[in-house]
């Protein structure tokens, strides 16, 4: 399957899954996984950066429209899209000519896990702190960030380990 088509299908499926299922699930009142960020994480490494940014902005706005949180998801997702290339360079050594899709196979297990954890953590902390918009109940926000990040990371790693090379 061509990479472009694969990414489009992933985009549609994950957005639907996020707004129709995940946003309605509540574990313990604290955990709210935002799996849609996998769309940005799974884009090919050499994708033009301006295109990644615009995709992230559009994706964030779509999620915002469904959850009534104008601009918050867009802000966090664009931030992740911007930092993605730096993080990839930091953890992996991919040669100039190659254009792999991030996965266990192309990055190696430990590099991929680090890549996912760091970016999901950045995304969730930005999002949940924007949502709280104050440091009054910072303890609760912190717990939410840690638990939600853990669940999202586990879901992403689960999905990746199921998919074939």
Partner 1 sequence: MKNLINFLIQYSVVFLFLFLEVISFTLIVKNQDYQKSVFLSSSNSVVSGMYEWSNSVVEFFKLRAANDNLSEENTALKNQIINLQNKLSTLKKDTPDSIHFRIPPEMEYQFIAAKVINCSTNKLLNYITLNKGTIDGVKPDMGVISDEGVVGIIKTVSDRFSVVIPILNNKLEISCKFKRNNYSGPLKWSGEDYRFANLNDIARHVELALGDTLVTSGFTNNFPVGVPVGYIEDFKIKESDAYYRIKVKLAVNFRTLSHVKVINYLNYKEQTDLEKKAEEQ
- Residue among 82, 98, 138, 142 that touches partner 1 (CB under 8 A): 82
- Say how far apart CA 63 and CA 73 lie, in whole Å: 7
- Residue among 11, 14, 32, 84 that touches partner 1 (CB under 8 A): 32
- Residue among 3, 6, 9, 65 that touches partner 1 (CB under 8 A): 65
**Residues of 50-78 as b/e, b for ≥16 C-beta within 10 angstroms?**
eebbebbbebbebbbeebebeebbbbbbb
Comparison of 70 and 109: residue with beta carbon closer to partner 1:
70
Residue 54 sits in the site that holds partner 1 (CB under 8 A): yes
Binding window for partner 1 (CB under 8 A); candidates: 5-13, 50-58, 88-96, 155-163: 50-58
* Cα dihedral 14→48→90→1 (10° resolution): 50
Residue 87 sits in the site that holds partner 1 (CB under 8 A): no
Give the closest residue to 54 by CA, choosing from 64, 70, 40. Answer: 40
Residue 138 sits in the site that holds partner 1 (CB under 8 A): no
- Residue among 8, 13, 49, 163 that touches partner 1 (CB under 8 A): 49
- Say how far apart CA 117 and CA 136 lie, in whole Å: 26
134 within 8 A of 80, measured Cβ to Cβ: no
Residue 33 sits in the site that holds partner 1 (CB under 8 A): no
Burial class from Cβ neighbours inside 10 Å (0-12, 13-18, 19+) for residue 89 reads: exposed
Of residues 115-134, those binding partner 1 (CB under 8 A): 130-132
Which residues would be at the binding site for partner 1 (CB under 8 A)? 19-20, 23-24, 26, 29-32, 49-50, 53-54, 56-57, 60-61, 64-72, 74-75, 78-79, 82, 130-132, 137, 140
């Amino acid at each position: 399957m061509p990479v472009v088509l694969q990414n489009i299908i992933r985009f549609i499926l994950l957005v639907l899954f996020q707004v129709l299922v995940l946003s309605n699930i509540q574990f313990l009142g604290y955990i709210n996984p935002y799996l849609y960020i996998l769309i940005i994480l799974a884009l090919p490494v050499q994708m033009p950066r301006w295109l990644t940014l615009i995709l992230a902005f559009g994706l964030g706005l779509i999620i915002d429209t469904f959850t009534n949180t104008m601009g918050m998801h867009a802000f966090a997702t664009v931030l992740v899209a911007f930092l993605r290339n730096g993080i990839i360079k930091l953890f992996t050594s991919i040669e100039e000519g190659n254009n792999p899709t991030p996965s266990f196979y192309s990055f190696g297990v430990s590099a991929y896990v680090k890549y996912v954890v760091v970016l999901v953590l950045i995304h969730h902390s930005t999002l949940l702190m924007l949502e709280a918009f104050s440091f009054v109940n910072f303890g609760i926000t912190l717990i939410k960030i840690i638990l939600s990040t853990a669940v999202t990371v586990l879901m992403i790693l689960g999905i990746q380990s199921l998919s074939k090379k």
